[in-house]
Amino acid sequence: MNQLLEEYKERLDKIEESLGITFHNREILVNAFIHDSFVYENEGVQLSNERLEFLGDSVLGMVISHEVFKRYPHWKEGAMTLFKSRMVNTESLGNISREMELGQFLLLGRGEEASGGRDRTSILADALEALIGAIYLDQGMDGAYCFVLRLFEPHLTVASPLKDYKSNLQEISQRIYKTLPNYSVVEENGPPHQKLFRVRVEISDSVGGLGEGSSKKEAEQNAARDLMGKIELEKEREREKEREREKDF
């Protein structure tokens, strides 16, 4: 067994105390913090935390999905998908990992360590998912559910999935599509004191959403919400396809 790994195991009491969990199988806990770079640089270490990350991603998604479904019975599928996506994205998981100070427990290669990997958002997010996968294997679904809920409870209570859909759509549009959304009124009905506007928002010829409202502003917000829901649903389908492809290997 690698000497560094043996020395690391002496820290497990502190890690368990920090997490508030006592593992039955500590090997699983150690594996949750082994980054690819550590495997590459240390002979005799064969397994990184990637498989646990895959498992933890699914467990985390199920817990958050169930909580959102239970807490917000008035939300439609698009709103639930959007909120879940924002809860479990890389940035969110990275921030929670920092709050937990998981970076201090990572097993990294020398190169990754030197380049700031211990505070890299993607590595921290992956480690948190791997840890959730490890807890699921060691403590079962009940243990994993309680752990996830303890971490995410402060973020689960909101009035709506997003307060400003237009601003968030603009951020997503610029990041993913490198352009700004375009809004247009496609229909305007009713007397002056009781207007109903129908607005379409487009990012590209194939990506669009519709919304209605008693004002242009309200209709634009609803159109942005509709489109964001579609984008997040498509991303979720792509993630599911990727998981299925990974299962085939």
What value does the mean pLDDT take over residues 172-182?
83
Cβ–Cβ under 8 Å, residues 81 and 9? no
What value does the mean pLDDT take over residues 155-166?
68
Q: What is the pLDDT of residue 166?
A: 81
Q: What is the pLDDT of residue 171?
A: 77
Is 129 designated active site? yes
Percent of the chain, pLDDT > 90? Answer: 43
Is 10 designated active site? no
Question: Given pLDDT bands bounded at 50, 70 and 90, which one contains residue 206?
Answer: low
Q: What is the pLDDT of residue 89?
A: 85
Express each pLDDT in 22-31 by its tens digit.
999 999 999 9
Arithmetic mean of pLDDT over the chain: 86
Cβ–Cβ under 8 Å, residues 83 and 163? no
The more confidently predicted of residues 6 and 63 is 63
Residue 228: pLDDT over 90:
no
Q: What is the pLDDT of residue 162?
A: 52
Express each pLDDT in 41-99 by its tens digit.
887 788 899 999 999 999 999 999 999 999 988 887 777 887 888 788 888 899 999 99
Catalytic residue among 129, 220, 226, 232: 129
Longest Cα–Cα distance of the chain, Å, equals 79
Q: What is the pLDDT of residue 3?
A: 67
Catalytic residue among 53, 57, 112, 226: 57
Strand partners, 198: 187, 212
What value does the mean pLDDT take over residues 33-38?
92
Q: What is the pLDDT of residue 1?
A: 47
What value does the mean pLDDT take over residues 137-162?
86
What value does the mean pLDDT take over residues 220-238?
81
What value does the mean pLDDT take over residues 96-103?
92
What value does the mean pLDDT take over residues 175-182?
84
User: What domains can you pick out in the chain, each with its CATH number?
Assistant: 3-155 (1.10.1520.10), 165-247 (3.30.160.20)
